Structure 1
Amino acid sequence: MTNSASLDQTNLPLRVRDFYLGRQPVLDRNQALYGYELLFLTGTHGAIGRSGVNPVPVAGGVPAAAGVPSPESAGLSATAAVIAHTAQLGLARAIGDACCFLNVDAEVLASDIFAFLPRERTVLEIAASVVPDADMLARLRELGTHGFRFSLDGLDNNHGDSNARLQRLLPSCSFVKLDLRRTPQAALATLVPHLQKLDKIVIADRVETREQYQASMDAGFDYFQGFYFARPAVLGGRKLSPSQSAVLQLMNQVTSDVDNADIERAVKRDATLALNLLRLVNTPAVGARQRIDSISQALLVLGRRQLQRWLQIMLYAEPSNHGHNQTPLLMLATTRARLMELLAQRLRPAQRSLGEIAFTVGIMSLMDVLFGIPMTDIVDQIPVSDEIRQALLKRSGFFGELLRLAENIESADSDDAVGDTVLPALKGLAISGDEMLELEMAAFQWTDTVVRYAI
């Protein structure tokens, strides 16, 4: 395969380049992160979607495989263009150490854009439009020899003709995704174990509620994809765990400007906090010049601002998960907070303090999910300014606007949704699609680094 990493994408049409990158987690049975499905969305209906279909002309000279018409005459799928464009920015920044699920159609599969992808961690999801003729099956075998794996979508018990086509693709695929909206729940009890007997890894797709998640667990799915983990299950009177209470108390001390000696005593009372603090200050993320072995030294090196941020992130880290700590809520909260901080810095560069406030709003915006209690109770327990309160409770003001944009980016999984919510917000903030992509990639990379070193 030729190396396409150096392709010049600067001349791509605005319709192709002006997109943003959605990232939806794929979780294992312990709710730990396994990978991400990357969604390239534009808000231009049909241009770039989850299935990677509907080709548009692409400039920049993306090479085609032998026997495939050139981009000038036929045009590769827009997905091919944005994959190449994103890879230039560093696809690894978007996925960290996780696996990457990418939707591909026949034109993308026939192209030669795969050289720059991390093949050992890339799963190519075969779109419903792919026809499994002899040439396509041969192409899948060829890509398989380079280490790529494939996922089959759309298998259900309702469409015999469709399933006959999918059965031809099944031997080439390591993964099978079952859309819970299209697959009858009664069929899952037999379909999931049948696929697993064929050595297929089965993923439950469109898991939107905790009830769906539990039903999928009972059916025996290997992995799960959807937004269920970020939907609040608000329970009145729920108590915080001892570790969460300790972090919250320490956060209150930090924001109350108590003496370092008092903070040091509070950290020492919780062995987990003390050990993690020492580990944090001795990592490349902090950059200390010599090893630090005392809590007092660690607090001086870290400083109040970084200590507060670290404590906010620690709230989302499950103590039992250290070493395998990329829980979905932790990754979502830190990415949202960092993205909001970067947006605030980009929009109002002369007011650096706004970035810190935006980060706090982002990290706190998921605490109702984390704790299972109403947000009104949380802002009563944690002292916050009125502008933070209004952003969290009403999505109002500058920070509320940023929060609303971040939430819409996370939840939109179709071009129509992007056109209705994300693009108007970007236009209102005077942020281009390319700028948004750069900020997203930076937030993804920052989250991966922080979680790896700090927790």
Structure 2
Amino acid sequence: MSILGRQVVNNSSYEIFAYDILYRSDDEDIDSNNLSASATSMAKVLNDFGLENVVGCYNGFLRVDAEFLSNSIMNTISKEQFTLMILQSSFLDKKLIPKLKNLIEKGFRFGLNDSIINKSTIKTLVPLLKYVEYVKIDALHSDEPYVDKLIEYLKSKDKKIIASKIETHDMYELYKQKGVDYFQGYYLKRPNIIKTTSFNASQTQILELWNLIQNNATTKEIVLELEKNHALALKLMQFINSSFFSFRSQISSMNQIINLLGRDALANWLLIFMVSSKDNGDKPNHPLLLMVINRTEIMVGLLKLIKPDSSMSEKSTAYLVGMLSLIHLLFQIEHREFLHKLRVTEEVEEAMFEANGFFGQLLVMTRYIENADSSHINEFIKKYNLNEEDMQQIVSQAMIKVNQFDKMIQETF
């Protein structure tokens, strides 16, 4: 099976700059420096997904090797949307520079992908720098003294620098001080957690409302709680009326929201809205919010694929597990402490921490999909006798939902 994914590349303010495109198939791996990319297979997957869905309104970094640059797929790649990131395995290919010269004349843009910087490799970069706009440094495996020398040199040449494989907040701070322009890595999912249990006034009210719904309060009780805070009610109305939900008619009452969304869906969306409620007027943590949306959409999509007759309650649980597996990071609060505030069921808690039960399996598989781990995805497909095209559709639809949510966030906040 071939699978397409994407990872966020952001600036020092946690704003999305680009998506790094991940592509893997059973026998090729464009995320590897040792294997040649299957251009024909990638072309099919990209076309199936739709380029506009893969990158949305952002730049796209597409990993390529020297062989890829001679493939007819080059005629289909958008010069405006994609920067072609050359794998380190092709740096010494004698045919590379002539190909770069030819393609640059045609309007293509290039960068150097995940370069491991040390005494022996730094010299291979220098001849290529005049042909590229970006240099991505593998921060996890590079030698820091040589990284410092390279960054100083790159800045003198006005090249943009991306630090990849940034896996901790400390690594992020280190490379930020070095003057790197952009960052990529799982540190976004593991920020420096502040062990606090405090929420602002608006967030506390939303939390109380969420618990009210979970405790089977009547619709009247829920509406009365909402109406205690007019500002909260109006903001929720704006949120629900945004382009993301695409309801046919304008929603004008709290009763309508509950009837159209359903109580469980409203409860889950309240958590997202809770993250977006900032007393200081700042935008929410944009990249992480999009990760939450992507994860919840994939979780629910997998559930529907495995159990087409799944109940609303099961869909709500799948959505909640996906959301709560990341959302505590948006509040910068210790994970279990946050779950205890929500008083979630043991089934939900075990799914997240022990990967137990059916929903735990869904969460594990969702993480594999996020990382385009084709081998584990294939095992999952065989286990549940799924259709590969249906699995691709789940990923594609999740991307579309993320793009729609991204647009809503840009318009609303």
TM-score bin (small chain): 0.7 to 0.9
85, 92, 104: which one aligns with 2:64: 104
82, 88, 91: which one aligns with 2:42: 82
Measure, in 1, the Cα distance between the counterparts of 2:321 and 2:93.
Answer: 52
Kept in 2: contact 1:326–1:451 (CA 8 A): no
8, 33, 38: which one aligns with 2:21: 38
Kept in 1: contact 2:4–2:45 (CA 8 A): no
CA separation of 1:155/1:42 partners in 2, compared to 1, >3 Å: closer, same or farther? closer
Where does residue 164 of structure 2 map in the other structure? 205
CA separation of 1:124/1:271 partners in 2, compared to 1, >3 Å: closer, same or farther? farther
Kept in 2: contact 1:103–1:124 (CA 8 A): yes
Residue deviations 1:103-122 (CA, integer Å, cap 9, x gap): 10111111121343343221
Measure, in 2, the Cα distance between the counterparts of 1:39 and 1:359.
Answer: 24
Kept in 2: contact 1:19–1:434 (CA 8 A): no
Measure, in 2, the Cα distance between the counterparts of 1:323 and 1:100.
Answer: 27
Superposition deviation, residue 170 in structure 1: 0.9
Measure, in 1, the Cα distance between the counterparts of 2:303 and 2:280.
Answer: 32
Measure, in 1, the Cα distance between the counterparts of 2:234 and 2:177.
Answer: 37
Kept in 2: contact 1:188–1:219 (CA 8 A): no
Superposition deviation, residue 238 in structure 1: 3.8
Kept in 2: contact 1:28–1:34 (CA 8 A): yes
Q: Give the alignment of 1:227-238 within 5 angstroms.
A: 227-231=186-190, 233=192, 236-238=195-197
Superposition deviation, residue 154 in structure 1: 5.4
Superposition deviation, residue 449 in structure 1: 1.1
65, 71, 74: which one aligns with 1:114: 74
Measure, in 2, the Cα distance between the counterparts of 1:324 and 1:285.
Answer: 17
Superposition deviation, residue 226 in structure 1: 0.6
CA separation of 1:288/1:410 partners in 2, compared to 1, >3 Å: closer, same or farther? closer
Give the secondary-structure state (helix, strand or coil) at the position aligned to 2:5: strand
Superposition deviation, residue 452 in structure 1: 2.2
271, 290, 294: which one aligns with 1:312: 271
Kept in 2: contact 1:208–1:226 (CA 8 A): yes
1:249 correspondence with 2:204: no
90, 112, 122: which one aligns with 1:130: 90
Give the secondary-structure state (helix, strand or coil) at the position aligned to 2:17: strand
Measure, in 2, the Cα distance between the counterparts of 1:336 and 1:368.
Answer: 14
The RMSD of aligned alpha carbons is 3.2
Where does residue 130 of structure 2 map in the other structure? 171
CA separation of 1:302/1:340 partners in 2, compared to 1, >3 Å: closer, same or farther? closer
Where does residue 382 of structure 2 map in the other structure? 427
1:27 correspondence with 2:10: yes
Superposition deviation, residue 405 in structure 1: 1.2
Give the secondary-structure state (helix, strand or coil) at the position aligned to 2:72: coil
CA separation of 1:301/1:158 partners in 2, compared to 1, >3 Å: closer, same or farther? closer
Measure, in 2, the Cα distance between the counterparts of 1:180 and 1:320.
Answer: 36
Residue deviations 1:85-125 (CA, integer Å, cap 9, x gap): 22223132233222211110111111121343343221111
Where does residue 8 of structure 1 map in the other structure? none
Kept in 2: contact 1:20–1:433 (CA 8 A): no
85, 92, 112: which one aligns with 2:52: 92
Q: Give the alignment of 1:405-424 within 5 angstroms.
A: 405-411=365-371, 418-419=374-375, 421-424=376-379
Give the secondary-structure state (helix, strand or coil) at the position aligned to 1:120: coil
Measure, in 1, the Cα distance between the counterparts of 2:320 and 2:353.
Answer: 14
Where does residue 183 of structure 2 map in the other structure? 224
Where does residue 391 of structure 2 map in the other structure? 436
Kept in 2: contact 1:281–1:301 (CA 8 A): no
CA separation of 1:284/1:155 partners in 2, compared to 1, >3 Å: closer, same or farther? closer
The more displaced of 119-128 and 276-285 is: 276-285
Give the secondary-structure state (helix, strand or coil) at the position aligned to 1:50: coil
CA separation of 1:214/1:433 partners in 2, compared to 1, >3 Å: closer, same or farther? farther
Measure, in 2, the Cα distance between the counterparts of 1:323 and 1:97.
Answer: 22
CA separation of 1:111/1:149 partners in 2, compared to 1, >3 Å: closer, same or farther? same
Superposition deviation, residue 317 in structure 1: 3.4
CA separation of 1:54/1:281 partners in 2, compared to 1, >3 Å: closer, same or farther? closer
Kept in 2: contact 1:51–1:105 (CA 8 A): no
335, 356, 361: which one aligns with 1:401: 361
Give the secondary-structure state (helix, strand or coil) at the position aligned to 1:119: coil
Where does residue 49 of structure 1 map in the other structure? 30
Report the identity percentage.
Answer: 27
Measure, in 1, the Cα distance between the counterparts of 2:340 and 2:175.
Answer: 37
Measure, in 2, the Cα distance between the counterparts of 1:350 and 1:294.
Answer: 31
Measure, in 1, the Cα distance between the counterparts of 2:97 and 2:110.
Answer: 12
Give the secondary-structure state (helix, strand or coil) at the position aligned to 1:31: coil
Measure, in 2, the Cα distance between the counterparts of 1:115 and 1:321.
Answer: 48
1:180 correspondence with 2:163: no
Q: Which runs of 4+ in 1 moved over 6 A?
A: 320-324
Kept in 1: contact 2:7–2:184 (CA 8 A): yes
Gaps of 5+ in 2: none
Superposition deviation, residue 323 in structure 1: 9.5
> Which residue identity is paired with 2:3?
Y
Measure, in 1, the Cα distance between the counterparts of 2:277 and 2:287.
Answer: 11
The more displaced of 252-261 and 34-43 is: 252-261
> Which residue identity is paired with 1:126?
I
Measure, in 2, the Cα distance between the counterparts of 1:321 and 1:145.
Answer: 48
Kept in 1: contact 2:321–2:363 (CA 8 A): yes
> Which residue identity is paired with 1:331?
L
Measure, in 1, the Cα distance between the counterparts of 2:182 and 2:233.
Answer: 34
Residue deviations 1:33-80 (CA, integer Å, cap 9, x gap): 222212112354xx223147645xxxxxxxxxxxxxxxxxxxxx4144
Where does residue 150 of structure 1 map in the other structure? 110
Q: TM-score normalised to the size of structure 2?
A: 0.86
Residue deviations 1:268-290 (CA, integer Å, cap 9, x gap): 55576444423234334334455
Residue deviations 1:382-424 (CA, integer Å, cap 9, x gap): 1333432331232111111101111233356xxxx653x4443
Gaps of 5+ in 1: 1-17, 56-76
Q: TM-score normalised to the size of structure 1?
A: 0.79
Count matched residues: 409
CA separation of 1:258/1:147 partners in 2, compared to 1, >3 Å: closer, same or farther? farther
